[in-house]
């Protein structure tokens, strides 16, 4: 079953007339993970934000986005707000920007739960504690009493993953969720994302520059360059036989980094 079908998505900057995303078509099967890779400015985030209907008004979008068979442009603002979080959930590069800095984490998490469920205060508290512990955040009560800036980047990403465990969305869009983290924390957060997929069986769009991570988590890979999709296929087929020169370049630069790492560390890190 197809959970998401994007046809001819084009995003224009109305002010300058520039085409930022051009005639983009792709789909996502239920329960699978599609990675979107590509250089900075290639249109990955604009594409993700279009799926949430979160692009700024100055950007004109054409094309169709069907989510669970329904055209998202036909939802009212209220309907779309209800879908965000509960059905389509976004994990951003920097978890800090997702939260209002003036409220403690617990307030955000409880508000998000209350938006979608009629749970009692005790039930909400119990579920949030369970979810925070599940992503290896010790002392959930303490975490909930912290302000966003008091938590590290890795902890904030875990909080975002914990909330997804509670909301159980159908589709998670993870837009470079580990870019702002150090290598060890990146690895840990990736593990939590993989576990999240296994637990709630959600579909995922995973945006990353890191092809090693893409290979670890994704089933299909789509490569964007200058607003256009230049390659699309299963991760294994794209790695084995990239059709586009730009994809070959991305894979070879990743391989060069990996070889350099191997020569320095003496270990075998495979891209």
Cα gap 252→174, rounded to integer Å: 24
State how far the alpha carbon of 230 is from the alpha carbons of 24, 33, 71, in Å: 10, 19, 25
Residue 32, class by beta-carbon neighbours within 10 Å (0-12 exposed, 13-18 middle, 19+ buried)? middle
Number of residues that bind ligand ATP (CB under 6 A): 13
Cβ proximity to ligand ATP: between 41 and 201 the closer is 41
38/262 Cα distance (integer angstroms): 24
Among 2, 12, 13, 108, binds ligand ATP (CB under 6 A): 13
Q: Which stretch binds ligand ATP (CB under 6 A): 35-43, 101-109, 143-151, 215-223?
A: 35-43
68: left (phi over 0), alpha (psi -120 to 50) or beta: left
20 is an interface residue for ligand ATP by CB under 6 A: yes
Q: Does 57 bind ligand ATP (CB under 6 A)?
A: no
CB distance 217 to 190 below 8 Å: yes
Q: What is the spatial distance between Cα 161 and Cα 251, in angstroms, rounded to a whole number?
A: 29
Which of 44-52, 75-83, 96-104, 245-253 is the region at the interface with ligand ATP (rule: CB under 6 A)? 44-52
Q: Can residue 200 be called a binding residue for ligand ATP (CB under 6 A)?
A: no
User: In terms of C-beta density within 10 A (0-12 exposed, 13-18 middle, 19 or more buried), how is residue 267 classed?
Assistant: exposed
Tell me the window of 52-60, 110-118, 149-157, 191-199 that interacts with ligand ATP (CB under 6 A).
52-60
Contact 211, 194 (CB under 8 A): no
Q: Near ligand ATP by CB under 6 A, which window of 37-45, 68-76, 185-193, 256-264?
A: 37-45
Rounded least distance, CB 137 to ligand ATP, Å: 27
Residue 197 touches ligand ATP, criterion: CB under 6 A: no
CB of 138 to ligand ATP, least distance (A): 32
Interface with ligand ATP (CB under 6 A), residue from 23, 32, 59, 188: 59
The reply to whether 102 sits near ligand ATP by the rule CB under 6 A is no
């Amino acid at each position: 079953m197809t959970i998401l079908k994007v046809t001819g998505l084009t995003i224009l900057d109305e002010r300058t007339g520039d085409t930022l995303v051009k005639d983009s078509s792709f789909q996502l099967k239920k329960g699978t993970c599609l990675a979107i890779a590509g250089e900075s400015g290639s249109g990955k985030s604009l594409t993700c934000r279009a799926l949430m209907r979160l692009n700024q008004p100055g950007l004109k979008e054409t094309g169709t986005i069907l989510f669970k068979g329904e055209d998202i442009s036909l939802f009212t603002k209220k309907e779309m707000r209800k879908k965000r979080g509960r059905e389509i959930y976004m994990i951003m590069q920097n978890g800090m920007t997702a939260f209002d800095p003036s409220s403690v984490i617990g307030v955000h998490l409880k508000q998000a739960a209350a938006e979608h469920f009629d749970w009692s205060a005790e039930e909400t508290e119990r579920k949030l504690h369970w979810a925070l512990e599940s992503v290896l955040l010790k002392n959930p009560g303490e975490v909930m009493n912290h302000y966003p800036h008091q938590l590290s980047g890795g902890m904030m990403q875990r909080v975002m993953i914990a909330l997804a465990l509670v909301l159980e969305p159908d589709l998670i869009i993870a837009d470079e969720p580990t870019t702002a983290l150090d290598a060890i924390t990146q690895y840990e957060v990736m593990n939590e994302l993989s576990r999240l997929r296994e637990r709630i069986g959600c579909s995922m769009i995973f945006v990353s520059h890191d092809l090693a991570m893409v290979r670890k988590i994704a089933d299909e890979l789509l490569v964007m360059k200058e607003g256009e999709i230049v390659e699309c296929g299963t991760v294994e087929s794209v790695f084995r036989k990239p059709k586009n020169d730009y994809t070959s370049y991305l894979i070879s630069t990743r391989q060069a980094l990996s070889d350099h790492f191997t020569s320095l560390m003496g270990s075998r890190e495979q891209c």
